[in-house]
Amino acid sequence: MTKRCYKCKEVKEKSEFYKDSGRKDGHDVICKLCTKEKRKEYYKNNREAILEQRKEYYKYNREAISEQQKEYYKYNREAISEYLKEYRQNNRDKLNAKDAKRRARKLNACPDWLTQEHHNVIADLYATAQKLTKETGIPHHVDHIVPLKGKSCDLGTGLMRHTISGLHVPWNLQVVSEEENLSKGCRYSEWK
């Protein structure tokens, strides 16, 4: 059976319409595609208010939401695991960038003054490393030119020598082969 969409005026199968028990034929008057477009437009125009409502709802329903999520996970564990496995494979660069940022934050090496443009450049470096790995078959890493964690060593005279520590910023990052990165370790040489 078919039906004409009130919005786009196209004749479509009834399966292309959401169910609506309040309607005579049991289906909405607007097709699923037009409904999705309408929702997208509404979200775009009311994004801030919607996010505020969600935040407020979560604040007062945190425990119920947590229980729902646990219940959902209990019955969909395999599907979630499969999805996450596939996501990890397809988004290795994003995960590596996120992990590096987390490590840098722990070391207070990720400055708060970085702009979105800086973060985009960093993300592009991780994407480039992943791309080079796929294209060449040689694993590539994003390396901190000046390591995030400087080392200290005893000079034997009771004095300690401290090396410098770098920041997690675009100009302190470079894409290198895994072999080159691992052979460098946490060392920095001014004279390369």
* pLDDT given at position 149: 81
pTM of the model: 0.58
Distance (Å, whole) CA 6 – CA 11: 10
CB atoms within 10 A of CB 127: 18
What's the CA gap between 112 and 187, in Å, rounded? 25
Residue type, 29: V
Domain coordinates in residue numbering, the chain: 2-88, 92-184
pLDDT digit of tens for each residue in the chain (192 aa)? Answer: 899 999 999 999 999 999 999 999 999 999 999 999 999 999 999 999 999 999 999 999 999 999 999 999 999 999 999 999 999 999 999 999 999 999 899 988 889 999 999 999 999 999 999 999 999 999 999 999 888 887 665 556 666 555 678 899 999 999 999 998 888 766 665 534
Burial (Cβ within 10 Å: 0-12, 13-18, ≥19) of residue 121:
middle
Spatial distance between the Cα atoms of 21 and 15, rounded to a whole number of angstroms: 14
- Quick one: tokens of 19? 């169910």
pLDDT of residue 107: 87
Q: To 5 degrees, how large is the angle CA 108–CA 114–CA 120? A: 115
| pLDDT for position 192 | 43
Give the N- to C-terminal CA distance of the chain in Å, as an integer. Answer: 73
Residue 184: per-residue pLDDT: 78
